[in-house]
Structure 1
Amino acid sequence: MRLRVGVSTSAHAIPWKRVLEPGRAVCYTLLRAAAPVLADRLHEQGFGRHGMVPFGYSGPVFPQARKRRGVYAAGGRGYLELGSPLPEVVAAWSVALAGRDLLDWGGVALRVHGISLVETAVERGSARLRTRTPVVMKGSGRDDGGERSTRQAWVLPTEPEFHHYFEQNLRRKAESLDLAPDVSLEQISWVGPKRSFAVGDGLKLGASVEAELKGNPLVLNAIRDWGLGQANSAGFGWVAA
């Protein structure tokens, strides 16, 4: 399930380091306002057998904002999307947002103009999902000789290890939700430019993708509302509705 939050701002731009970074705190703030026990459990333990955090978000989008080189354009009416495969998370966000006029997005004030449920569903055993934000994926961190050289080995969709670790992440998400890991990556049909965004523990590198997946529709729908790749709760890998 996912929510679309109508927002507006008088700001003309959002600093690049604030495009995604504030979202995780906003999601937890809203969750704590309506379901504090659930919020604390997800924050401290994660969910399911792998301890993953099953939610994601898009970052603010302002379709009519005038594009300018070097800045993330903002201004006027726009929207923010929040999603989770757990209905109780989306329900809590809905309750919290119903009582809010403003959201603080890392120092940028977003005025709330209402919320709606985005009702799109995967009904077949395949789906083509394109992300709005970069997919980040951690690889083995091993060099050509097989020795581990780093623990922060972000791999891009064009690199050899990506397919394996991407597919493994999809199956871990299914298992976290107690669903059979009936999902596979058929192909990456499009790759966007390499981008990095700041989050709480530094920069994460990735690229937007269009991925063709095959599997149980229940799993595909859950992944669509959660996001592709790792660090979804930091706004990465958000799937465009």
Structure 2
Amino acid sequence: MFPHATKRRGVYSAGGRGYIELGSPLPEVIAAWSVALSGRQLIDWGGVALRVHEIALVETAAESDTARLRTRTPVVMKGSGRNDEGDRTTRHAWVLPTEPEFHHYFEQNLRRKAETLDMAPEVALEQISWVGPKRSFTVGDGQKPGAAVEVVLRGKPDVLNMIRDWGLGQANAAGFGWVAA
């Protein structure tokens, strides 16, 4: 994130002082990143030269069975791609948080993440309390539309912490659905 960079349509702008946050639900991944980056003064991040001034571990732990999470980047989620008659009309049916299918596919995504890490998949989307503007970015072969969101989730604290560290929605490795610390 470069708060003072000149905004450009369709891309995240870079320039001036900023910061990069890396996260993972796996402590081993964070430890490896920390070791790899601690001795560096410069990182080439996709052609953007980043000077390393400081590395800090940011920990925020949910202690209750509910968590309010707000993303810094758009959340992308695929829907069924089916019309009202149930016929598939497309494979790339991106749905926004305001669309009817979003809630169901979003919850399925949260549960699948928990199961992937052998955690209790009892996690629920209680509320979508805020939706940012629609944004689309070209990633790979096409554009992925989404919107930043603030959601209230219910589940076990360890599962909520994992979700916060992993990110919301799909394409988290591409930077989508990053939860603000």
**Which TM-score band applies after superposition, normalised by the shorter structure?**
over 0.9
Q: How does 1:171-182 map to 2 (within 5 A)?
A: 171-182=111-122
Among 41, 44, 49, the alignment partner of 1:101 is: 41
1:214 maps to amino acid = R
Is 2:84 aligned against 1:149? Answer: no
Please name the residue that 1:115 is paired with.
55
CA distance, structure 2, for counterparts of residue 164 and residue 210 of structure 1: 16
Question: Which structure has the highest helix share of the two?
Answer: 1
Aligned-partner Cα distance in 1 for 2:7–2:107: 36
Distance 2:112 2:101 in 1: 17
Q: How many residue pairs end up in the alignment?
A: 180
- Secondary structure of the 1:212 match is strand
- TM-score relative to the length of structure 1: 0.71
Q: Secondary structure at the match of 2:20?
A: strand
TM-score w.r.t. length of structure 2: 0.94
SS in 1 for 2:129: strand
Find the aligned partners of 2:109 and 2:133 in 1 and give their Cα distance.
22
For 2:153, what is the secondary structure of its paired residue?
A: strand
What is the SS of the residue equivalent to 1:185? strand
- Please list, as runs of the form range in 1=range in 2, the aligned pairs for 1:117-196 lying within 5 A after superposition: 117-196=57-136
Q: Does the CA-based 8 Å contact 2:72-2:177 persist in structure 1?
A: yes
For the Cα contact (< 8 Å) 2:135–2:145, is it kept in 1? yes
Which amino acid in structure 1 is aligned with residue 29 of structure 2?
V
**Partner SS for 1:78:** coil
| Distance in 1 (alpha carbons) for counterparts of 2:122 and 2:133 | 30
- In the alignment, structure 1 segments of 5+ residues that lack a partner are 1-60
Displacement of 1:202 in angstroms is 2.0
Verify the 8 A CA contact 2:14 2:48 in the aligned structure 1: no
Which of 215, 218, 222 is 2:155 aligned to?
215
Letter in 2 for 1:83: G
State the one-letter code of the partner of 1:79: Y
Return the structure number with greater strand share.
1
Distance 1:85-1:69 versus aligned 2 partners, 3 A rule: closer
| Structure 2 residue identity aligned to 1:145 | E
| Structure 2 residue runs without a partner (length 5+) | none
- Paired with 2:20 and 2:7, the residues of 1 have a C-alpha distance of 20
- Please give the per-residue CA displacement for 1:175-233, whole angstroms capped at 9, x wherever unaligned: 00100112100010000000011212321111000001011000000000000001111
TM-aligned CA distance change 1:88 to 1:72, over 3 Å: closer
Q: Structure 2 counterpart of 1:125, which letter? A: D
Percent identity, aligned pairs only, is 79
The one of 12, 19, 26 equivalent to 1:86 is 26
Cα distance, 1:130 vs. partner? 0.4
Would the alpha carbon gap of residues 69 and 228 (structure 1) be closer, same or farther in structure 2, given more than 3 Å must change?
A: closer
- For residues 231 and 73 of structure 1, what CA distance do their matches in structure 2 show? 19
